[in-house]
Amino acid sequence: METLSSKIRPWVARIVEAEGLFPWQFRKTFAECRMVRGLPKEGSKMIRSKSSAYGLLAIYEIAKASQSDKASTGILARDVARKYKLPTAYVAKVMSHLAKHGVLDSERGPNGGFRLARRAEKITLWDVLEASGALTADHGDRLKQYPPAVRKMLNRAYEQIMASVQSAASTSTVADML
C-alpha cells in the first residue's frame, strides 16, 4: 500500500531540484506541512472526523435494523448515541444532515425516527461521507505560510489522495458494511 510519503516523494524531488534546495533544507518545511491540520501524517487515514464516524455508525445501525423486524419503526438518534456512548445532540445533528442530503428519511411521531431513504445497495459510503460533512476540510489558508512550490505540491497530493478515497468510497455501499 502506498503511503502519503511515497506519493509525495516524486514531487518533493522535483521541487528540491527546481528551487535549488538541498534535501536537508526541505525536510523541516515538509515535516511542518505534513502536520498542518487537514493533511494526514504518514500512516493515518485521510478522512477522520467525528461527523463521518458518527454518520457511518448511524447508517450501519439503521441498515441493520431495516433487515430485521425493526424495519417498521425508525431508529432514534438517542439509541445510536446510547449504544456507542456518543453525545446524543451531535449524533442527532449528523443524522439530520444525512436526512437533508437524501441518505436517510426522518419522521416525527410515535413511530418516528430515521430510516434509509434508499435500499442499502444504492447508498454509497461516499454519499454518507459527503452528507456528514467529512469532506469539507479546506486547508488552503493554513498553507499560505509555505513557499508556493510546496503549497502546489501539497495541494496536488491532497487532490490525488481525495480522488483515491472517492473512488473507493463510491464503489462501496452500505450493504457491504452488513
The CATH number of residue 156's host domain is: 1.10.10.10
Which residues face 107 on adjacent strands?
Answer: 113
109 and 146 fall within a common domain:
yes
Backbone angles phi, psi at 114, to 5 degrees: -110, 140
64 and 110 fall within a common domain:
yes
User: What's the whole-number mean pLDDT along residues 101-124?
Assistant: 89
Domain residues for 22? 1-31
CA pair distance 136, 127, nearest whole angstrom: 14
pTM over 0.75: no
pLDDT digits (tens, 9 = 90+) for 130-164: 888 766 555 556 667 777 887 788 777 777 777 77
Residue 28, judged by CB atoms within 10 A of its CB (0-12, 13-18, 19+), counts as exposed
* Distances 109 to 112, 113, 173 between C-alpha atoms, Å: 5, 8, 29
12 and 79 fall within a common domain:
no
**6 falls within a domain:** yes
Split at pLDDT 50, 70, 90, the class of 171 is confident
**38 falls within a domain:** no
Question: Using an 8 Å Cβ cutoff, are 118 and 85 in contact?
Answer: no
125 and 154 fall within a common domain:
yes
Q: Given a cut of 80, is residue 14 above it in pLDDT? A: no
**36 falls within a domain:** no
Number of domains the chain is built from: 2
